[in-house]
A and B are shown apart, each in its own frame.
Chain A
Amino acid sequence: MSAFLEVQNLKKYFKTGRGTLHAVDDVSFKIEKGTTLGVVGESGCGKSTLGRTILHLLDSTGGKIFFQGEDITHVNKQKLRELREEMQIIFQDPFSSLNPRMSVSEIIKEPLILKGGMSKDQMDEEVKKLMDTVGLAERLTNAYPHELDGGRRQRIGIARALALNPSFIVCDEPVSALDVSIQAQILNLMQDLQEERGLTYIFITHDLSVVKHISDEICVMYLGQLVEKAPSEELFENPLHPYTKALLSAIPIPDVHNKKQRILLKGEITSPIDPKPGCRFAARCIHATEACRKPQALEEINPGHFVSCQKVRELNDSKIHKEETI
């Protein structure tokens, strides 16, 4: 049984004036149907590019994408149209993702018009249903996006994505631009929709608490590469890659007595333009040695827990060792 979506060694390079920018470099993962894969990493690490490349909004430079067992890396126009009805995207900024000249109903109706095969009344009925599904009041039908708050706008974006009844949705930081209280509402809505419709999500975010809340599995990206991949619980309890550890140590804990040791990363993020082979985190890693300059591979350390770090076993042993001596 093949996975619902599988990505093998996916690469997306951009040619820039200063060299080739490796936005996504050799990323592989699988997602099972009805689950959520969280993708975390700091800005500019290629999370969004990864999502857009899978959706063919950007052409991939290399690697393969399988959707429901079928190779969809290179598809013709007809196939692409069909695929896009299955795969949708929800954008980060609900202010720039909605055309300011179109009313709410026009925005939600557009995918239906483009798909065709529906009478106008059927479409209106469908729009009404979709608005109800995402929790938009019917009186907003003729409202314009600028009249609504961020949460409502994001609901419009979700309704538009759902209109074609897709089975797979890339959520590109869908709650980053929202207030915390509204974030929770939108996240709950997305989880409800996932349960009702059996949706599969790739959830891209830099917000660790959000990703913990919603994901079944989490990928950590650094400069276009996957550095760690593990089930959600496992990753938060037992982060293995030095970068993941630093990332998780940055989560604030609301407790004055709990003084957690934060791992502060030194130095700037290295350039993604023509990167050197080897671990891209090495320049900022406190454990880095000469061995880290060689190309790294994802290794399964615990069942389902993959890490791309040569020193991970060694570091882990020393950690266990330390705990024993204390």
Chain B
Amino acid sequence: MRGNGLREEYAQRRAQILEPLATRLVEHLQGNLEGIGRIDRVSARAKGVDRFLAKAAKALEDGGAKYEHPFEQIQDLIGARIIVFYKQDVDVVAEMVERYYRRIERKDLIPESEAEFGYFGKHFILAVPQDAVDDEADRDKTPKFFELQVKTLFQHAWSEASHDLAYKPGEPLSPLNKRQVAFTAAQAWGADQMFEQLHTELNGAPEVRASTG
């Protein structure tokens, strides 16, 4: 399915299945975060129609379609986020995720090279919990997985702003722009490092087990 047919089908699924499911996933995540402090916000959104179509149209290097079955292959049709204060809190939330959800993927999103700067956080692909799927739901059209990102406030701020500024199709960044984006990432990284230390010194929080970039 391509073109207008794909747009209409996705728009329909988005309104009837994905948006209500995103709302239930927020409630589900919030329920499992009860008692965990320093959660700034929990959100989930169904991927926008244009973004879905743009992703579905991506091609492989050989020119073939990257997603032959976009509804099943694109696993972030629903993307959820948990934003926390400090880096230690990312680990606490990640532990909650491991306890309550089945995952098929977990990564720390970090730049490929130590000489590069980008600042993203933790990423999971999780099975949609059965509690969030009504008995009456159309199971064939309900996604089996959703994406969850766990980020600090600074990781979130950097990735939102840099995504808005630095990923415009057909408008490559100049070398100066790239250095400026890298500088903001380094600033956000530095701020998190300082807050991590302060949180340890002033609140007695444990140090972060492994760097999240």
- Do A and B interact with each other, yes or no? no
**A residues lining the B interface (CB < 8 Å):** none
**B residues lining the A interface (CB < 8 Å):** none
